[in-house]
Amino acid sequence: MSNLNKDNVVDLFLNPRSVAVIGASKNPIKGGFRIVNNLVINNFNGKVFPINPNARGSVAGLKFKKSVLEIEEEVDLAIFYVPNRVIPGVLKECVEKGIKGAIIEASGFEEVGEEGLKLRDEIIKITENFTKMRIVGPNCMGLTRIDKSSNEGDKGGFFSSFGLFSEYKRGNIAIISQSGMLNGGYLVFLFSKYPDLGIRYSCSIGNKMDLSEIEFLEYFLEDPTVNVITIYLESFKDPRKFINLARKTRSLPNKTLILLKGGITSQGQKAALSHTAALSENSKLIEAIIKQAGVIQARSFHELFQLARTFSMIYNSNKTLPKNGNVSMITGTGGGGTVTADLAKQYGLNFPKMSDATYSELVSVFPEWMPPNRFALVDLWPAMEKAAMNNIPPPKISGKVFNALMNDDAIQGLFNMLFCSSKFKWMVDVDLMLQHVTNTKKPTFFWLIGENDEVMRLTRLFNENNIPAFTDLHEMVRMYKALVEEAKNKSMNEHAN
């Protein structure tokens, strides 16, 4: 899987031809076993050399070597899974061998104070200030590149995390993270919770002693397989460069940048200091950076990935970002409509007045005693009752209303409530609905309530078709608002150019 961006040093780390695993192990509960095993079982398309001076025999069919100096072939990259104090000695051998990059997973560096700072200085000396060798980490969980979906049988990619990756899917999302959790437990959670979620890269950058978010961001901006770049940061390595790269992102029609910044409060900064040695940053400064950069900001990991999932689907389905906050809704419950109207307003979204043509279409399917609203919030219940009385299949009515709203120039997108029930299937024609949604460039989000099993089944079906579906109105509205924000970001850039 070669990349267009061979000049960027990140290519060495994400597409190495050969890797040495320092601290490889035969013991299945050890991370040094799992790193080798992940590479082998997932068909990494390169050479793997397990290194451990104390091990005999082989792991995953590969013979141990005592040192990288025993390897005859060229080695691109070393993955270090050994305690911090052992690192300098082995690193010297790696430099001697001519290895150009190292991923260091151990903690116990800048974040632990004096002893860690001494270790860091040693590494700087050995690598001649990172000229002989580039470093990712320390205090990280490695890098992951996903080429295929594991259930295709024909796997592929590069895996340097000791997390377990047995189920995964390739997609258009790249993750850059100062929390190893995202490359470990959280990714496992996401892949098992959302079987349709695809990831292209997941990069744990730890204390970023050398490489940081900057190089990875540059790399992903050039990579056409990536649409959504998801970042968790505890500190900005270079705020000015970050802002410039964020601005560049805005100029690219197929890229969106989503940021969760940890340490935006004094309390968070105290926590970040002991985690990745992130220095305190002034909250006002952080705010200014985020505002100037024009990125989509998340407040929790859950929100970060709901945003990533949503944008991923929007890009996959080639929808148009909404030009403004004028949205519409079809609901079967007035209470759901009222609460959505409140939330929408709070997020700056409006249900505009429909055109006369749209209104006429709606009037024709509503009972006389209960005409529709003039504004684009449609409580469909009376129309469904009328249809049932006249022996018209209700899905025909909802389809007609859907198309009328989507053809209205005043409306940029739609919220669609769906009651999910195995007992009331006649009320809904999901195939017909999918057709309608696929036929418009305007984004449609679904709000699902009903029997949980049916909600889950339809969520998966919608996601397979790149249609976002939610059970929480607040989340649905927040996600839609992000699309509007991003459209605004991109148009700001147009005006600037």
Site for a second copy in 135-154 (CB under 8 A): none
| 333 sits near a second copy (criterion: CB under 8 A) | yes
| 339 sits near a second copy (criterion: CB under 8 A) | yes
Give the residue, chosen from 267, 282, 390, 497, that forms a contact with a second copy under the rule CB under 8 A.
Answer: 267
- The answer to whether the beta carbons of residues 33 and 19 sit under 8 Å apart is no
Q: Which is nearer to a second copy, 268 or 399 (CB)?
A: 268
Here's the x/- map for a second copy, 294-323, by CB under 8 A: it reads as -----xxxxx--------------------
| 177 sits near a second copy (criterion: CB under 8 A) | yes
Phi, psi for residue 97 in degrees, rounded to 5: -75, -15
Site for a second copy in 85-124 (CB under 8 A): 107-108, 112, 115
Min separation Cβ 270 and a second copy, Å: 7
Give the residue, chosen from 16, 50, 101, 262, that forms a contact with a second copy under the rule CB under 8 A.
Answer: 262
Task: Please tell me whether the peptide bond between 83 and the residue prior to it is cis, using omega within 30 degrees of 0.
Answer: no
| 181 sits near a second copy (criterion: CB under 8 A) | yes
Site for a second copy in 411-430 (CB under 8 A): 419, 421, 423
What is the residue whose two structure tokens read 């690192």? Answer: 87
**Parallel, antiparallel, or unpaired for β 377-379 and 157-159?**
unpaired
- The alpha carbons of the chain give a radius of gyration, in whole angstroms, of 26
Q: Which is nearer to a second copy, 30 or 247 (CB)?
A: 30
| 328 sits near a second copy (criterion: CB under 8 A) | no
Min separation Cβ 187 and a second copy, Å: 10
Give the residue, chosen from 144, 172, 230, 276, that forms a contact with a second copy under the rule CB under 8 A.
Answer: 276
Here's the x/- map for a second copy, 347-386, by CB under 8 A: it reads as ---xx-----------------xx--x-x-x-x-xx----
List residues bridging with 444 in a β-sheet. 414
What is the rounded CA–CA span in Å between residue 15 and residue 19?
A: 10
Give the residue, chosen from 45, 58, 254, 274, that forms a contact with a second copy under the rule CB under 8 A.
Answer: 274
| 287 sits near a second copy (criterion: CB under 8 A) | no
**Parallel, antiparallel, or unpaired for β 173-177 and 143-146?**
unpaired
Window of 9-17, 46-54, 89-97, 255-263 that interacts with a second copy by CB under 8 A: 255-263
Here's the x/- map for a second copy, 50-89, by CB under 8 A: it reads as ----------------------------------x-----
What is the residue whose two structure tokens read 């006369």? Answer: 356
Window of 86-94, 130-138, 272-280, 438-446 that interacts with a second copy by CB under 8 A: 272-280
| 156 sits near a second copy (criterion: CB under 8 A) | no
Residues 6 or more apart whose Cβ sits within 8 Å of residue 59: 24, 25, 26, 33, 36, 37, 50
What is the rounded CA–CA span in Å between residue 141 and residue 160?
A: 8
What is the rounded CA–CA span in Å between residue 277 and residue 91?
A: 22
Q: How far is it between the farthest Cα atoms of the chain?
A: 87
| 218 sits near a second copy (criterion: CB under 8 A) | no
Min separation Cβ 455 and a second copy, Å: 7
Is 312 strand, coil or helix? helix
- The answer to whether the beta carbons of residues 182 and 122 sit under 8 Å apart is no
Give the residue, chosen from 88, 268, 393, 399, that forms a contact with a second copy under the rule CB under 8 A.
Answer: 268
| 189 sits near a second copy (criterion: CB under 8 A) | yes
The tokens describing 127, both together, are: 């690598």
Give the residue, chosen from 272, 295, 330, 482, that forms a contact with a second copy under the rule CB under 8 A.
Answer: 272
Min separation Cβ 179 and a second copy, Å: 2
Q: Which is nearer to a second copy, 8 or 306 (CB)?
A: 306
Residues 6 or more apart whose Cβ sits within 8 Å of residue 153: none
To the nearest 10 degrees (0 to 180), the angle between helices 239-251 and 473-496 is: 90
Give the residue, chosen from 345, 396, 425, 441, that forms a contact with a second copy under the rule CB under 8 A.
Answer: 345
- The answer to whether the beta carbons of residues 90 and 21 sit under 8 Å apart is no
Phi and psi based region of residue 107 (left: phi greater than 0; alpha: psi -120 to 50; beta: remaining): beta
| Distance, C-alpha 427 to centroid of its chain | 35
Q: Which is nearer to a second copy, 200 or 275 (CB)?
A: 275
| 464 sits near a second copy (criterion: CB under 8 A) | no
CA distance readout (Å), 65 to 58, 62, 160: 9, 9, 19
Phi, psi for residue 50 in degrees, rounded to 5: -75, 130
| 337 sits near a second copy (criterion: CB under 8 A) | yes
Q: Which is nearer to a second copy, 91 or 343 (CB)?
A: 343
